[in-house]
Structure 1
Amino acid sequence: MRIADPSVLPAAPGPPRRAARVTTALAAVLLGADALLAAPAPARAALPSARAADPVNAMIGFAAVNALGQNGTTGGAGGPVVTATTTAQFLDYIARPGRYVIQVSGRITLPTGDSDGMHDVTSDKTIIGLGAGAALVGGGLNIGLPVDDDVTTPPADAVHNIIIRNLTITGATDDLINVQMFSHHIWIDHNDLSNGDDGAVDIKRGSDYVTVSWNRFHDHDKTLLLGHDDDNGAQDIGRLRVTYHHNYFDGSDQRNPRVRFSPLVHVYNNYYRDNSYGIASTNDSGILAENNYFYSVNNPGRVDFSGPLGRMVERGNILVDCNHPIETRGTVTEPRTIYPYSADPASSVPAIVPAGAGVGKI
C-alpha cells in the first residue's frame, strides 16, 4: 500500500470557481530589538483573550530559520544603539557598515533625489520606531544590491539580517519597502504601510528567508509582490521563501500576496477585509493558506490567474461574503517540518489582528 509523505500537504478537493456569493465557516527565538533599546519599549496593547498562539513579539517563520550562513535574523543586536530625528541622521545610519540598532523618533521625510525615493539599507540593521508616532514619509527603503540579471546565485555580499519594526511608512514615490537581489533573513513586523506609488512590500530577484508579520496595509493598491516576473525563474526558482502572518489587509486592493516561483509560502492568521483578491499563486509556487479570515473579498485565493498555474493548499480558513472559494491545486510542504509555529483559530482573527497589527503595539 502506498503511504503519503506526511510532510507534503495535498490540496483539498473543493467546488469549482463560481459567481455565486459564498459564505464558508470551516471548523476550527524571540529576537525582537526591544531589549536592545536604551529607551523604554512602548507599552503593549492588550490583545483579546482569544489569543492563544505564539507571542506577539516573537519572530516566527522563515526569518528565524538558520540558513545561508545566517543563524536566524538578529538585525543590529550587539551593535551601537542610535536615535535618528532628522533625515540626514537616518540616511547616515542606514548606510553605515556593521551592526546598528537605529531608533526612529518622530516624522522623517525621505527625499526623492535621483533614486526615485528609494534608500539603501546595509546588512545587520534593526530599524525600529519609538512609540506610535515614528514615521518615514515620501520615500522607501531598499534592501538589496543593484539589479543585475546576470547574477543567478547568491553573491557573497548579498544584503542580509535586517529588522524593520514599529514604523509608519507612507507616501513613497516607488515602493515602501523593496527586497531584492538575493537579500535574506529579513523581518518586517508591526508596521503601518500605505499610499505607495508601487508595492508596499515587494520581495523579488532571489531574496529568501523573510517574515512579514503583524503589519497593517491600507489605502494601497499593489500590496505584496513576491517574485519579479514570469521570465525571472533563473534567479527566483527555489527561493522566495516567505511567511506572512497576522497581517491586516485593511482594504488593500490586490497582491496580498501575488506569488511566483516560490517552493513554499506560508500565509496564516491574516485578516482580509474588502479586497479585490487575497492570494495569487502562479509559476508553480506552493502556498499554504491557513486559518485566515476573509471578509468581503472577491477572490480569496487563486491559482488560475495570470501566467502559469501555481499550487495552493488551504485549511482552516473562514470566508464571509466572498464571491468565490479559495482555489486549490497540487501539494505543498508542511511548514512545521521547517520551523515551529502555533496558529490561532480563524474565528479569532477579526479580533486579534486589528488589535495587534500596526504601530504602537510592541
Structure 2
Amino acid sequence: MRRNVRQVVLGSTAGAAALALVTAGVTMTGAASAAENTAAAPPSTLAAITDLVGWATQNGGTTGGGSAATTTVTSASALTTALGSSAAAVIRVSGTISCSGMLRVRSNKTIIGNAGATIAGCGLNINGDRNVIIRNITFRDWGDDAINVQTSATNIWVDHNTFTNGKDGAVDIKRGSDFVTVSWNRVHNHDKSMLLGHSDDNASQDTGHLRVTYHHNWFDASTQRHPRVRFGNPVHVYNNYYRNNSGYGVASTEGAGVLVENNSFEGVSDPFHLGEGDSGPGTLVARGNLLVSSGAGQTGGSVKAIPYGYTADAAGNVKSIVTGNAGAGRISL
C-alpha cells in the first residue's frame, strides 16, 4: 500500500522554491499502514556520520582490526600480503595502488585510505571471513567487483568510499553472507552498483541471511542495482540520495523483504519495484521518500522488523547531507 502527498516548505524564498518543485512533480511516500509498518521505532538521537549503524552492529558487532598494529602499504604486493595475513591488522592504503584480479581479505582487518588513496584495476574479495572494515578509498577501473562479500562472510562495514568506472559490481554481497552495513559511499560513472544475492537458485544458502543496511549512499547517475535484492529480509535502504539513475533504484526479488525509507530520488523514473528480469517478486515497503521528477515506485507486502536503533533524517534534508559527506575524503583520519 502506498500514499502520495504534496509537500510544500513554508517561508518566503524556501516556500517559493518548494512550490516550484511541487509544480515540477515532487511527491512524498506516506507512512505505511499498521500492517506494513513493521520496523522498530528509531531513537531520537542522530548518530555522527562516522558511527557504525545498521546490520553490522549485530552478531557481536564489527570492529575490524581494532587496536592492532598499523601497516601502511603503497604497492600491490604489500597490499596483497597485508590483506592475506591471518593476524588482526589496521592497513592504511597510501597513494594509488594499481593491481589486477581480486585480492583476498582475511578476518579482523580495517582497511582505510590515507588522503587520496586509490585502488585501481582490482577488487577486494572477502570470502568466508568476518569482521572487516573498508573505508575512505577510491576504487576505479576494476575488472570484476570492487568489493565482493561472499560465502557466509559476516560483520562487514563498507563506509565512505568512492566507486567509479568498474566492470561489474561496486559492492556485491552474496552466498549466505550476513550482518553488513554499506554507508556513506558514492557511486558515479558506473552501471551495476550493488547486488545482494547472486542468483535465483541459491535460496537454500541465502534464505535467513543477506541482511544488509544501505544508508546515506550517493548513487550519482549510476544506472542500476541500488541495490538489487534476492532473499534477504529485512534489508534496510534508508537516507540514500538517488540522482538521474537511468535504469532503476531498488529492486526486491525472490521473496526478499526491503524497507525503502526516507530516501531522496531526483530524476529517477523507476525508483523502486518488485521483481527484476527473470527474478520473481519480493516484498517492499516504502515510506517517507522524497520523489522529485521521479516515478511513483511499486510496493507490496510487508517486511520483517528492523532490530537495531537508528535515526532516519528527513528525506528533504538527505540531498544536502549526503552530497556534503558521502564518498572518499569526507572523514577525518
Task: Place the TM-score, normalised by the shorter chain, in its bin.
Answer: 0.7 to 0.9
Q: Distance in 2 between matches of 1:223 and 1:27?
A: 27
Shift of 1:23: 3.3
Deviation at 1:296, TM superposition (A): 0.6
Does the aligned pair in 2 maintain the 1:14–1:328 contact within 8 Å? no
Equivalent in the alignment of 1:42: none
Deviation (angstroms), 1:26: 4.7
- 1:277 match: secondary structure: coil
Partner of 1:285: 256
- Corresponding residue for 2:73? 84
Name the structure 2 match of 1:140. Answer: 123
Q: SS of the residue aligned with 1:253?
A: coil
The match for 2:175 is 205
Alpha-carbon separation, structure 1, partners of 2:29 and 2:106 = 44
The whole-number CA distance in structure 2 between the counterparts of 1:255 and 1:358 is 18
For normalisation by structure 1, the TM-score amounts to 0.80
Contact (CA 8 Å) 1:13, 1:328: kept in 2 or not? no
CA distance in 1, matches of 2:312, 2:28: 17
Matched, 1:24 2:8: no
C-alpha separation between the residues in 2 aligned to 1:78 and 1:318?
41
Residue-by-residue CA offset, 1:51-105 (whole Å, 9 max, x unaligned) = x83210000000011x2xxx20000013211111122211110010020000111
Partner of 1:181: 151
CA root-mean-square deviation: 1.7
Determine whether 1:106 maps to 2:95.
yes
Aligned residue runs from structure 1 range 320-339, under 5 A: 320-322=292-294, 324-335=295-306, 338-339=307-308
2:286 maps to 1:343: no
Q: CA deviation at 1:265?
A: 0.5
User: Superposed, which structure 2 residues align to 1:45-194 within 5 Å?
Assistant: 53-65=46-58, 67=59, 71-110=60-99, 112=100, 117-131=101-115, 133-144=116-127, 158-194=128-164
- Matches of 1:200 and 1:317, distance apart in 2: 24
* Counterpart residue type for residue 232 of structure 1: N
Conserved? CA contact 1:278–1:299, under 8 Å = yes
Which whole-Å CA distance do the structure 1 matches of 2:29 and 2:299 have between them?
A: 15
Distance 2:87 2:57 in 1: 20
Question: Percent identity among equivalent residues?
Answer: 49
Q: Following the alignment from structure 2 to structure 1, what is the Cα–Cα distance between the partners of residues 275 and 81? A: 45
Alignment match, 2:18: none
2:209 aligned with 1:239, yes or no? yes
Cα distance in 1 for residues equivalent to 2:184 and 2:4: 30
Count of residue pairs brought into register by the alignment: 298
- Cα distance, 1:193–1:257 mapped onto 2, change above 3 Å: same
Conserved 8 A contact 1:54-1:343:
no
Unaligned runs of 5+ in 2: 6-23, 32-44
Stretches of 4+ moved more than 4 A in 1? none
User: In structure 2, what is the equivalent of residue 298 of structure 1?
Assistant: 269
User: Does the 8 Å contact 2:157/2:182 carry over to 1?
Assistant: yes
Q: Secondary structure of the equivalent of 1:136?
A: strand
Letter in 2 for 1:302: H
Alpha-carbon distance in 1 for matches of 2:113, 2:326: 14
RCO comparison, higher one (Cα < 8 Å, 6+) = 1
Matched residue type, 1:185 = N
Q: Distance in 1 between matches of 2:248 and 2:216?
A: 17
Counterpart residue type for residue 301 of structure 1: F
For 1:25, the aligned partner's letter is M
Q: What is the alpha-carbon distance in structure 1 between the residues aligned to residue 133 and residue 260 of structure 2? A: 24
The equivalent of 1:271 in structure 2 is 241
- Single out whichever of 311-320 and 52-61 deviates more from structure 2: 52-61
Normalising to structure 2: TM-score of the pair?
A: 0.86
1:315 corresponding residue in structure 2: 287
**Could you tell me which amino acid in structure 2 is paired with residue 358 of structure 1?**
G
- Alpha-carbon separation, structure 1, partners of 2:28 and 2:308: 27
Q: Is the 8 A contact 1:164 1:187 kept in 2?
A: yes
Q: Is the 8 A contact 2:84 2:104 kept in 1?
A: yes
Offset of residue 27 of structure 1? 6.8
Superimposed CA distance per residue, residues 245-278 of structure 1 (whole angstroms, 9 cap, x where no aligned partner): 0000001100010000111100000000000200
Contact 2:29 2:286 survives alignment (8 Å): no
Please report how far the alpha carbon of residue 22 of structure 1 lies from its aligned counterpart in structure 2 after TM superposition: 5.5
CA distance in 2 between partners of 1:164 and 1:235 (Å): 25
